[in-house]
């Protein structure tokens, strides 16, 4: 295998910086199952404050944070609705059905962008024993498989108004909400307070090694804590992991703009080499999705060709390839990715 010079497989690959490791080593710890880890409590309180919610719950993974959020709102046999490319329906391995008996339906979307007519065309309430009733609408921001799409706050608020009148809850899969905040300038609390629950990830662009936080009301988080234990997610002296999250909040949020700029630079270069594969105007954050089928390539072949040049990427469809910028990809790595991708596209 060639030496990797730019690993763009995912922003989950980030490694703790030296300063983050030092913060982890200094952390006070306690038993988090008993709610006695002071650093975990500090992280939960801080993130809850940033998102405009009463309380938070530290979880080992983003998928667990999402699944706990879904469980809180949807009783077995009721449904959630999400867009057809949403992580909760495409990349969490059917967990909502397997763990919680939740059914789901999806609306079509373009690049994952929320259009209020989409979810509201599916929401069904007050139908008695004849149809499944909708309990939850899920929105993802930024949208992973959509290519880092930032959701419109106006669209979110329109759906929130409609669902509130119907008694339907809303959950935000905000794994990359930090990116949406930096790219749009919208305050985190302005996004967060439109939802009953929110999940945010610390181990993607923020560079922590592990962890997500679920936010909601104090009562909801108390219930989620019980379900976290049932799901096997009860953790003990994990303040050293929470310390990484606190360090990331202090030092790694605003620098996400660097990832966004490098992704845009790459997209512009690819568009110059092969205009059909990407529209740079659609690259809003740190994710670029190339339609390599537009130049007659299969995604697997493109991924392999870039890997031979030391650039690792990810096929997200038969002809779609995703590249994700993060803390461990600098200007030199970006230049290497540009050289490799444009060479392959030009040859195609």
Taking residues 43-65, report their average pLDDT.
98
Give the whole-number percent of the chain exceeding pLDDT 70: 100
Asked if residue 194 lies in contact with residue 177, where contact means CB atoms within 8 angstroms, the answer is no
Looking at residue 348, its pLDDT comes to 86
Q: Name the helix (H) or strand (E) containing 302.
A: helix 299-308
Cis ω before 149 (30° cut-off from 0): no
Write out pLDDT tens, residues 171-210.
Answer: 999 999 999 999 999 999 999 999 999 999 999 999 999 9
Question: What mean pLDDT do residues 229-243 have?
Answer: 95
| Residue 212 pLDDT exceeds 70 | yes
Whether the Cβ atoms of residue 247 and residue 20 lie closer than 8 Å to each other: yes
Residue 1 reports pLDDT greater than 80: no
Helix (H) or strand (E) holding 119: helix 117-120
- Measure the CA–CA gap between 241 and 238, rounded to whole angstroms: 5
Residue 226 has pLDDT above 90, yes or no: yes
pLDDT digits (tens, 9 = 90+) for 279-299: 999 999 999 999 999 999 999
The shares of helix, strand and coil residues in the chain, as percent rounded to the nearest 5, are 45, 15, 35
Per-residue confidence (pLDDT) for residue 327, from 0 to 100: 96
Does the predicted TM-score (pTM) go above 0.85? Answer: yes
Residue 317: pLDDT over 90: yes
3-state class (DSSP) for residue 181: helix
Q: φ, ψ for residue 269 (rounded to 5)?
A: -65, -40
Give residue 338's pLDDT. 98
Domain boundaries, the chain: 6-13+255-347, 31-251
DSSP character for 15?
Answer: -
CATH number of 6-13+255-347: 3.90.1150.10
Percent of the chain predicted with pLDDT > 90: 97
Q: Return all residues near 74 (Cβ < 8 A) that are at least 6 apart.
A: 80, 96, 100, 102, 135, 136
CATH class of 31-251: alpha beta
Cβ atoms of 194 and 141 closer than 8 Å? no
């Amino acid at each position: 295998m060639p030496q990797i010079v730019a690993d763009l497989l995912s922003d989950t690959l980030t490694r703790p910086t030296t300063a983050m490791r030092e913060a982890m080593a200094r952390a006070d710890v306690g038993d988090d199952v008993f709610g006695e880890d002071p650093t975990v409590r500090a992280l939960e309180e801080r993130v809850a404050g940033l998102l405009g919610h009463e309380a938070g719950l530290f979880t080992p993974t983003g998928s667990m944070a999402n699944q706990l959020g879904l469980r809180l709102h949807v009783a077995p046999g009721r449904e959630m609705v999400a867009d057809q490319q949403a992580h909760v329906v495409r990349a969490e391995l059917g967990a909502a059905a397997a763990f919680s008996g939740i059914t789901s339906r999806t609306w079509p979307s373009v690049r994952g962008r929320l259009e209020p007519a989409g979810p509201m065309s599916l929401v069904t309430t007050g139908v008695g024993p004849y149809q499944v009733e909708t309990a939850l609408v899920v929105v993802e921001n930024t949208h992973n498989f959509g290519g880092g799409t930032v959701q419109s706050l106006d669209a979110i608020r329109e759906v929130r108004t409609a669902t509130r009148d119907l008694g339907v809850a809303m959950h935000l899969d905000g794994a990359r909400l930090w990116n949406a905040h930096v790219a749009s300038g919208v305050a985190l609390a302005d996004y967060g307070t439109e939802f009953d629950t929110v999940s945010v990830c610390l181990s993607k662009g923020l560079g922590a090694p592990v962890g997500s936080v679920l936010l909601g009301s104090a009562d909801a988080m108390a219930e989620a804590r019980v379900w976290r234990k049932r799901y096997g997610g009860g953790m003990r002296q994990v303040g050293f992991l929470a310390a990484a999250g606190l360090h990331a909040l202090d030092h790694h949020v605003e620098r996400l703009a660097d990832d966004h700029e490098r992704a845009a630079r790459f997209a512009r270069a690819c568009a110059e080499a092969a205009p059909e594969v990407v529209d740079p105007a659609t690259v809003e954050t740190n994710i670029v999705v190339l339609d390599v089928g537009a130049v007659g390539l299969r995604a697997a072949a493109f991924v392999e060709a870039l890997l031979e040049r030391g650039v690792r990427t990810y096929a997200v469809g038969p002809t779609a390839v995703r590249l994700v910028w993060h803390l461990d990809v600098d200007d030199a790595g970006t230049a290497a990715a540009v050289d490799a991708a444009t060479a392959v596209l030009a040859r195609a």
